[in-house]
Structure 1
Amino acid sequence: MDIQTVSLPRIGDPAPDFEANSTFGPIRFSQYRGRWVLLFSHPADFTPVCSTEIMALARRAPEFEQRGVQLIGLSVDSVPAHLAWTRNLAAHLGHPVPFPIIADLDMTVSRRYGMLHPGESTTATVRSVFFIDPEGVIRALVYYPLSTGRNIDELLRVVDSLQVTASHSVSTPVDWRPGQPVVVPAPATQQAIETPDDARQMGLEYQEWYLRFKTIE
């Protein structure tokens, strides 16, 4: 298959299902239905930037677990390579890498998820991240070049935003963090526009009729 002809999954698309070997044994992606998943690819085992990312994700895996998020890594390296690498990283961490890393040797999963970008590399996956909801729908995705390591705080922030907006039908403003006010939907009709006093009585922080905030307990 020509990787240049494969369309990239989009926000709102069902996450492509797959079966693959991993450091945790064979997995089928649909087995994670019912919980959030963060599926991420890295270019190669035993490389500097990837090593810093895996160690950071392993250290902070409990924070993802608290949010009900399953971490799943992927590269086109083999299971033996993954195992040797993660054992080496575990020696530095002081504990095992607590999530599976897929061995996508034939690049099947990489192609389905658009992780191979010929302009960057034809043999290594870029640093892609897919945020997938419990229904198996892609809710956000981010691509980084091989040269740029990811920010774990930002990955957690996106998870928090996706979960609060899904639960409360709101949006999150720029630089939002949990505990800060969220944005409520703007009125859709003239009749629905509140006065500033009415909005405040409803517990809203009023800036403009189309820009109102509230705090979620």
Structure 2
Amino acid sequence: MTQQITAQVPAPRLNEMAPDFDAPTTHGQKKLADYRGQWLVLFSHPADFTPVCTTEFIGFARRHEDFAARNTQLLGLSIDSHYSHIAWVRNIREKFGVDVKFPIIADLSMKVASAYGMIQPGASDTAAVRATFIIDPEGVLRAMVYYPMNAGRSVNEIFRLLVALQTADANGCAMPENWEPGQPVIVPTPKTPEEAEQRASEGYDTVDWYFSTRML
């Protein structure tokens, strides 16, 4: 008997180029290259017209302008059809009074979902789990967050993470637990014994040679 071998799609990895795509959306055909020069939050949901997904789309829609102010576009995805997406967006506007202004990929072939590791066999063979990807203006994948099918993600946390990444890039620093704008950031750790010896005299808020913070 000949055993059939199924080719495995390599999982996306942080700090590497995000998987390319060219897919139909509710705003026309979209490619990853269309977002070059901007940040992109690409997020999948299991299915249209489901309660948890509806709350998530309302959450993203309500913060759409906040993301836009950070040079960031939103792009949803599910393996439902283009027409299902249109009907769902219309339903959200009619029943909840919220206008979803960002595009949604219709990924019936599961090509994009598979490339991004959104299909998790342990959860479902036919639906994309709640995965969120933050892609920088150069097309590099900077963050991945996965949620289970039965628990909605936090849009506020995704926005906080985006701001933290942008701020870290702009200032050459790292961000402590639950960092918010206006709070101290972490100074890069010294790389040599000589630098460690000098750290206490460099004007930072230093607890020990490896742990120093500063205000921006």
What TM-score results when the alignment is normalised by the length of structure 2? 0.94
Equivalent position of 1:143 in the other structure: 146
What residue number does 1:82 align with? Answer: 85
Please report how far the alpha carbon of residue 167 of structure 1 lies from its aligned counterpart in structure 2 after TM superposition. 1.0
Q: Could you say which residue in structure 2 is the equivalent of 1:110?
A: 113
Q: Is the 8 A contact 2:184 2:213 kept in 1?
A: yes
Provide the alpha-carbon RMSD of the alignment: 1.4
Q: How does 1:130-169 map to 2 (within 5 A)?
A: 130-169=133-172
The one-character-per-residue Cα deviations of 1:145-165 (angstroms, maximum 9, x if unpaired) are 111100111101100111011
2:27 pairs with 1:24: yes
Asked if 2 retains the 8 angstrom alpha-carbon contact of 1:86 and 1:96, the reply is: yes
Rate the CA distance shift 1:119–1:95 in 2: closer, same or farther, 3 A. Answer: closer
Cα contact 1:4–1:118 (8 A) shared by 2: no
What runs of 5+ residues in structure 2 fail to find an aligned partner? none
Q: Distance in 1 between matches of 2:84 and 2:142?
A: 31
Once the 2 structures are TM-superposed, how far is the Cα of residue 96 of structure 1 from its aligned partner? Answer: 2.3
d(CA) in 1 for partners of 2:10 and 2:21? 17
3-state DSSP of counterpart to 1:98: coil
Matched to 1:44, the amino acid is A
Q: Shift in Å at residue 175 of structure 1?
A: 1.4
| 2:58 aligned with 1:42 | no
**Native 8 Å contact 1:76 1:103 kept in 2:** yes
Aligned partners of 2:16 and 2:141 also within 8 Å = yes
- The separation in 1 between residues aligned to 2:67 and 2:190, in whole angstroms, is 34
- 2:101 pairs with 1:98: yes
The answer as to whether partners of 1:82 and 1:103 remain within 8 angstroms in 2 is: yes
- Counterpart CA distance in 2 for 1:92 and 1:63 is 23
Structure 1: give runs of 5+ residues left out of the alignment.
none
